[in-house]
């Protein structure tokens, strides 16, 4: 218990220091690339990589990636994943691809972090606000048109017990409307890294697995429920295999 608390304090302190160091680097990158990088790909990519530095300096965590990303990383995808923990965001950010995240408005209000999210072009959402939802959807279409992928957790919120929840329609409706493929991810092992409603970190050997893209070519909105359910079933099968092998 004492070890866990001490290492947690260390890791949170390291994260704060890395964020302070990273903010001016992201700002300079954003400023220099602003005239030609309309999708803020470079600034966003650099922003995510602070998670790699933090994980290396966090003795309780070991993160891995598996699977094969598409060869053309600038082809836009709607990326979806199961959601075990807040740490999923840090783990997925280890993938060598930039994608824009849809996040709660409260996260954008965090000093430095929120500033970097704005420079990265992440997408703000006020939950339960219909106008905000419409604006977030328009922002997603904007990022996809700029050849940058969008990342959405279709469960909507992280699971308290690690079980896979029901998938909401939004990500799949977006992919069909925009005519872009779904790129499924599966995360495993992050739930112990940071449990819901607990500030202390835990030991974790986590992995994010990239699955094959799923085309939405020729689909209409009538195909959305089947697409949603098929992707959920695929992620559930992979998650069961990863759990059995752990």
- How would CATH label the architecture of 2-245? 3-Layer(aba) Sandwich (3.40)
Which tokens hold the place of 43?
Answer: 């600034």
Q: Sorting pLDDT into bands at 50, 70 and 90, what band is 244? A: confident
Tokens of residue 193, six digits: 């890294």
Query: Parallel, antiparallel, or unpaired for β 61-67 and 204-210?
Result: parallel
- In the structure, what pLDDT confidence band is assigned to residue 129 with cuts at 50, 70 and 90? confident
**pLDDT at position 160:** 65
**In the prediction, which pLDDT does 195 show?**
79
What is the DSSP-derived secondary structure letter of residue 30? H
pLDDT per position as a tens digit, 152-187 = 999 987 766 668 999 999 999 999 999 999 999 999
Confidence at residue 19, expressed as pLDDT on a 0 to 100 scale: 97
User: What's the whole-number average pLDDT of the chain?
Assistant: 93
Return the pLDDT at 128. Answer: 75
Integer Cα distance of 79 and 99 in angstroms: 8
Strand partners, 123: 102
pLDDT in tens, 75-89: 999 999 999 988 999
């Amino acid at each position: 218990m004492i070890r866990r608390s001490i290492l947690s304090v260390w890791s949170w302190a390291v994260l704060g220091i890395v964020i302070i160091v990273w903010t001016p680097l992201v700002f300079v990158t954003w400023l220099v690339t602003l005239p030609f990088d309309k999708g803020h790909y470079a600034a966003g990519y650099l922003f995510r990589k602070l998670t790699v530095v933090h994980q290396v300096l966090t003795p309780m965590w070991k993160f891995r990636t598996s699977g094969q990303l598409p060869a053309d990383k600038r082809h836009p995808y709607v990326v979806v994943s199961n959601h075990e923990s807040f740490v999923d965001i840090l783990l997925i950010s280890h993938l060598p691809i930039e994608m824009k995240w849809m996040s709660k408005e409260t996260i954008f209000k965090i000093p430095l972090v929120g500033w970097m999210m704005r420079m990265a072009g992440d997408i703000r959402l006020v939950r339960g606000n219909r106008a905000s939802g419409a604006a977030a959807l328009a922002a997603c279409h904007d990022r996809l048109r700029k050849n940058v992928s969008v990342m959405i957790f279709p469960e909507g919120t992280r699971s308290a017990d690690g079980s896979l929840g029901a998938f909401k329609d939004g990500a799949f409706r977006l992919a069909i409307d925009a005519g872009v493929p779904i790129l499924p991810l599966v995360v495993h092992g992050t739930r112990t890294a940071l449990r819901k409603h607990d500030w202390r970190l835990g030991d974790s050997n986590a992995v994010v697995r990239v699955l094959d893209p799923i085309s939405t070519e020729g689909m209409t909105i009538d195909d959305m429920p089947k697409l949603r359910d098929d992707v959920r079933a695929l992620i559930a099968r992979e998650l069961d295999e990863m759990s059995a092998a752990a």
